[in-house]
């Protein structure tokens, strides 16, 4: 399931998964071989991201940032998959070039070990709403899809071409979603691991009354209560 949009002037239809939708399935070639997404990743969390183009400066810094964090994401049971509308040979040449030539922010000799999807046909980019014609006619924007072990889209972040992503935020989103699921709570503004979580709103007057008196729960009002995890 996904949201279908139609361009009124060209009649072109493209889709866009929404939060809560099953992640659209596809088969694609990547720098690590054929990929059946999302089934190949079983019950891992998945981060599917698009970048505008190989051999471009901001994308290169993002790839180094993702590569540096891949081990941390593995520890969070999270697989990373990149995508652009470039060819397989372009992806391979760029990854090799990053390792051999790029020095950035104290990083050199960087291995890009996550797969990069080849999407010359724009099949996957259209399926996931990664192409935004107002921003670029032929390159993906910087989209990030967070997909849970049941293959449901849980969060989506979009950045424009000129702005590299905040990787601390990407990691925070994964940890926050896993925390919300594990403890059946919500997370407040600027939440980071270690901070208190927010209780879901009460659904009865009795519940509203009881929670304020409960030990370990801090309420500033009946609808805004927090607890340590």
Q: Is position 161 an interface residue for ligand BEZ (rule: CB under 6 A)?
A: yes
Shortest spacing between CB 195 and ligand BEZ, in angstroms: 33
Closer residue to ligand BEZ, CB minimum distance, 53 or 208: 53
- How many positions of this chain bind ligand BEZ (CB under 6 A)? 9
Residue 59 appears among annotated catalytic residues:
yes
Identify the residue among 29, 53, 177, 198 touching ligand BEZ (CB under 6 A). Answer: 53
What the block records as the tokens of 166 is 């905040």
Q: How many whole angstroms separate alpha carbon 89 and alpha carbon 74?
A: 27
Q: Is position 133 an interface residue for ligand BEZ (rule: CB under 6 A)?
A: no
Give all strands of the β-sheet with 153-159 in edge-to-edge order.
Answer: 33-37, 26-30, 116-118, 78-84, 45-50, 142-147, 153-159
Whether the bond into 109 is cis, omega within 30 of 0? no
Is the distance from CB of 129 to CB of 122 less than 8 angstroms? no
Identify the residue among 28, 29, 58, 208 touching ligand BEZ (CB under 6 A). Answer: 58
Q: How many whole angstroms separate alpha carbon 194 and alpha carbon 89?
A: 44
Closer residue to ligand BEZ, CB minimum distance, 66 or 191: 66
Closer residue to ligand BEZ, CB minimum distance, 54 or 148: 54
* Distance from the Cα of residue 8 to its chain's centroid: 29
Identify the residue among 2, 44, 56, 179 touching ligand BEZ (CB under 6 A). Answer: 56
Is the distance from CB of 13 to CB of 4 less than 8 angstroms? yes
* Catalytic-role residue among 3, 59, 212, 225: 59
With contacts defined by CB under 6 A, name the span among 15-23, 53-61, 87-95, 195-203 that binds ligand BEZ. Answer: 53-61
With contacts defined by CB under 6 A, name the span among 51-59, 76-84, 100-108, 181-189 that binds ligand BEZ. Answer: 51-59
Is the distance from CB of 222 to CB of 211 less than 8 angstroms? yes
What the block records as the tokens of 21 is 């939708």
SS3 state at 118: strand
Shortest spacing between CB 41 and ligand BEZ, in angstroms: 26
Q: Which residues are catalytic?
A: 59
Site of interaction with ligand BEZ (CB under 6 A): 52-53, 56-59, 139, 161-162
């Amino acid at each position: 399931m996904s949201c279908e949009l139609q361009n009124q002037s060209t009649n072109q239809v493209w889709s866009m998964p929404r939060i809560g939708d099953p992640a659209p399935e596809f088969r694609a070639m990547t720098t690590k071989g054929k990929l059946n997404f999302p089934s190949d990743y079983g019950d891992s969390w998945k981060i599917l991201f698009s970048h505008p183009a190989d051999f471009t400066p901001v994308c290169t810094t993002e790839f180094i940032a993702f590569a540096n964090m891949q081990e941390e994401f593995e520890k969070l049971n999270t697989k990373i998959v990149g995508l652009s509308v470039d060819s397989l040979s372009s992806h391979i040449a760029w990854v090799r070039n990053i390792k051999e030539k790029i020095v950035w922010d104290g990083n050199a000799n960087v291995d890009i070990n996550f797969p990069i999807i080849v999407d010359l046909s724009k099949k996957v980019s259209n399926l996931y709403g990664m192409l935004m014609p107002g921003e670029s006619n032929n390159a993906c924007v910087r989209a990030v899809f967070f997909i849970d072990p049941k293959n449901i889209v849980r969060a989506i972040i979009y950045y424009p071409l000129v702005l590299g992503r905040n990787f601390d935020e990407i990691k925070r989103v994964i940890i926050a979603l896993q925390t919300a699921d594990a403890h059946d709570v919500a997370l407040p503004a600027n939440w980071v691991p270690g901070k208190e979580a927010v209780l879901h709103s009460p659904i009865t007057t009795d519940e509203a009354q009881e929670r304020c008196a409960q030990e370990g729960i801090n309420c500033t009002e009946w609808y805004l209560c927090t607890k340590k995890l």
